[in-house]
Amino acid sequence: MVGGDRGDRVIDPGRLVTFVIASMAIIVVPGPSVLFTLARGVAWGRTVAVLTVLGNSLGTLVLSAAVAVGLGPLLSRSHLLSVVLQLVGGLYLVWLGIGAYRHRHAHAAAMARREGAKPAVPSIVRQGFTVGILNPKSLVFFAAVFPHFVEPARGSATVQLLVLGGLFSVMAFCSDSTWGLIAGTAREWLSGSARRLVSLRVAGASVMVCLGALIVTSALAG
- Check residue 158 and give its pLDDT: 80
User: What would the mean pLDDT of 211-215 be, rounded to a whole number?
Assistant: 77
Look at 195 and 109; give whichever has higher pLDDT.
195
Q: Distance between CA 28 and CA 125 in Å, rounded?
A: 21
- Check residue 7 and give its pLDDT: 45
- Check residue 110 and give its pLDDT: 62
Residue 3 lies in a domain: no
Percent of the chain clearing pLDDT 90 (strictly above): 8
- Output the CA torsion sign for 170, 126, 72, 74: negative
Which of 13-27, 47-61, 63-77, 109-123 has the highest mean predicted lDDT (pLDDT)? 47-61
Query: Structural domain of residue 99, as residue ranges?
Result: 13-221
- Check residue 6 and give its pLDDT: 45
Q: Could you tell me the pLDDT band of residue 58, with boundaries at 50, 70 and 90?
A: very high
- Check residue 174 and give its pLDDT: 92
Residue 4 lies in a domain: no
Number of domains in the chain: 1
Whether the Cβ atoms of residue 36 and residue 131 lie closer than 8 Å to each other: yes
135-184 pLDDT per residue, tens: 767 777 787 777 778 777 777 778 888 888 899 999 999 988 998 888 77
Residue 10 pLDDT > 60, yes or no?
no
- Check residue 125 and give its pLDDT: 92
Residue 57 lies in a domain: yes
Look at 12 and 69; give whichever has higher pLDDT.
69
The size of the chain, in residues, is 222
pTM exceeds 0.85: no
- Check residue 199 and give its pLDDT: 75
Residue 207 lies in a domain: yes
- Check residue 3 and give its pLDDT: 45
Closest CA to 180 of 111, 130, 116: 111
Residue 159 lies in a domain: yes
Q: What is the 3-state secondary structure (H, E, C) of the chain?
A: CCCCCCCCCCCCHHHHHHHHHHHHHHHCCCCHHHHHHHHHHHHHCHHHHHHHHHHHHHHHHHHHHHHHHHHHHHHHHCHHHHHHHHHHHHHHHHHHHHHHHHCHHHHHHHHHCCCCCCCCHHHHHHHHHHHHHCCHHHHHHHHHCHHHHCCHHHCCHHHHHHHHHHHHHHHHHHHHHHHHHHHHHCHHHHHCCHHHHHHHHHHHHHHHHHHHHHHHHHHHHC
Residue 7 lies in a domain: no
What is the maximum span of the chain, computed from C-alpha positions, in angstroms? Answer: 57
- Check residue 145 and give its pLDDT: 76
Q: Distance between CA 83 and CA 144 in Å, rounded?
A: 8
Residue 195 lies in a domain: yes
- Check residue 220 and give its pLDDT: 81
Residue 1 pLDDT > 50, yes or no?
no
Residue 5 lies in a domain: no
